[in-house]
Amino acid sequence: MEAKAAREVQYRRMVLEDVPQVHAIDTASFSLPWPESSFRYELTENKASRCWVADATGTNGEKQIVGMLCLWLIIDEAHIGTIAVHPDFRHVGIGKRLLATALLEAHHEGVRQVYLEVRRGNVNAQKMYRQFGFEVTNVRPHYYSDNGEDALLMTLVAIVPGELERLRKEP
């Protein structure tokens, strides 16, 4: 499916049947992807895990997973474990809506603060996180084992649900 053929995108919790497509997006997006078994573990074993997908329906009715996200709940905090959008569907608002949907649901479950790590060079992702109010609160030097790149720890200190609703609905 081409991005312009995506008639409708639904944001819903990930199920086991999604895992092969989710893993394909992960592999296409990261130099250190998770093994496919990690997604299955998150869905079946890890009670703290909340995994989401963006599920596109094309003009001819075909369906395709075009985005994925996993976060972990730790009492009133959430840690974003991974988020990626299929390379053919980037920068059309899917990542933003996926993140807003997952964080709104996390807020319903009592989450107030959110943390994530992002590569220092990943400026596109950092721009998205800043739209949500995330700020850099720490640096983890040489965090990534493939190239020794630093991780920026970004924190959203207080979720504002109305702001997430706005981002979820933004064109």
Ligand X SMILES: CC(C)(COP(=O)(O)OP(=O)(O)OC[C@H]1O[C@@H](n2cnc3c(N)ncnc32)[C@H](O)[C@@H]1OP(=O)(O)O)[C@@H](O)C(=O)NCCC(=O)NCCS
Minimum CB–partner distance for residue 60 and ligand X (Å): 23
- Closest CB to ligand X among 25 and 111? 25
Applying CB under 6 A, the residues found at the interface with ligand X are 29, 83-85, 90-96, 118, 122, 124-125, 127-128, 131
Angle between the 94-108 and 161-169 helix axes, to the nearest 10 degrees?
A: 150
Q: What count of other Cβ atoms lies within 10 Å of the Cβ of residue 126?
A: 17
**At its nearest, how many Å lie between ligand X and the CB of residue 97?**
7
Instruction: Identify whether the C-beta of residue 109 lies closer than 8 Å to the C-beta of residue 102.
Output: no
117 given a catalytic annotation: yes
Query: In whole angstroms, how close is the CB of 79 to ligand X at the nearest point?
Result: 12
Residue 164 tokens read as: 């997430």
Q: Determine the Cα–Cα distance for residues 39 and 96; give it in Å rounded to an integer.
A: 21
Would residue 165 show up in a list of annotated catalytic residues for this protein?
A: no
CB-nearer residue toward ligand X: 84 or 159: 84
The residues that are catalytic are 117, 129
